[in-house]
Chain A
Amino acid sequence: DIQMTQSPASLSASLGETVTIECLASEDIYSNLAWYQQKPGKSPQLLIYYANSLNDGVPSRFSGSGSGTQYSLKINSLQSEDVSIYFCQQNYDSPYTFGAGTKLELK
């Protein structure tokens, strides 16, 4: 199975700040990487697919990058509504595995 190591596990940032979440795959996943946002008490929502493609309706302050085994999610100008858990997930090979999540809170 492909292991997805996500960091940090938790993150505290101020409004307007830029934050970055990292995801490391145990092998090359050829950009088959998605990011999801899960707001408190809600189901996950797709933010980014194919490592850097923004899903419809997702604010442009979210961006994804990376290749090979290393990927990142960047949130510019943090807003209060961005308080969530963020998950990375590989779609390269079955079983399709997730990172452990990053809990983003406001400072």
Chain B
Amino acid sequence: EVQLVESGGGLVQPGASLKLSCVASGFTFSDYWMSWVRQTPGKTMEWIGDIKYDGSYTNYAPSLKNRFTISRDNAKSTLYLQMSNVRSEDTATYYCTTRTTSFDYWGQGVMVTVSS
């Protein structure tokens, strides 16, 4: 059974940095592209970016490219999202997903609240 478990969220102050993790199991992690998608409290969905199965290529939403970085550690079956200089509009639930033709499997999500 595919499982994706995100962690690392919480309350963070504007301008701070935060790193989210997603531990994968139930499939060969190193064979799959992976993605991060976020959902605002108002339920708006936004794709953040993708990373190739070997970590050699990343693709980001242009509006987030300068502040967010996706990486992975295939030995640990773990996906990461480094967020820097966070803003109130980054308040959302963050999901990691497998990525083939669509966002196939989703984690349970982790909440990030940006507030002073």
- Do A and B assemble together? yes
Which residues of A come within 8 Å of B, CB atoms?
32, 34, 36, 43-46, 49-50, 55, 85, 87, 89, 91, 94-98, 100-101
Q: Apart from A36-B103, A91-B101, A96-B47, what are 7 other A-B pairs with CB-CB below 8 Å? A: A46-B103, A46-B105, A55-B104, A95-B47, A95-B61, A97-B47, A101-B44
Q: How far is the CB of B2 from chain A (nearest CB, A)?
A: 11
22 contacts between A and B (CB under 8 A): A32-B101, A34-B103, A43-B95, A43-B108, A43-B109, A44-B95, A45-B106, A46-B102, A46-B103, A49-B102, A85-B43, A87-B45, A89-B45, A89-B103, A91-B102, A94-B59, A95-B47, A95-B61, A98-B45, A98-B46, A100-B44, A101-B43
Q: Chain B nearest CB: distance from A5 CB in Å? A: 14
The answer to whether A50 touches B107, judged by C-beta atoms less than 8 angstroms apart, is no
Q: How far is the CA of A25 from the CA of B108 in the complex (A)?
A: 28
Q: Complex formed: what's the CA distance from A43 to B110 in Å?
A: 10
Q: Which of B44, B59, B61, B102 contacts A89 (CB 8 A)?
A: B102
Cβ-based interface call for B62 (8 A): yes
Using CB atoms, name the residue of chain A closest to B63.
A95
B5 to chain A, nearest CB (A): 11
* Distance between B52 CB and nearest chain A CB, rounded to angstroms: 13
Which residues of A are found within 8 Å of B103, using beta-carbon distances? 34, 36, 44, 46, 89
Q: A43-B95, A97-B47 are in contact. Are A34 and B62 (CB under 8 A)?
A: no
Chain B residues, CB < 8 A from A85: 43
Chain A residues whose CB sits within 8 angstroms of the CB of B59 once the complex forms: 94
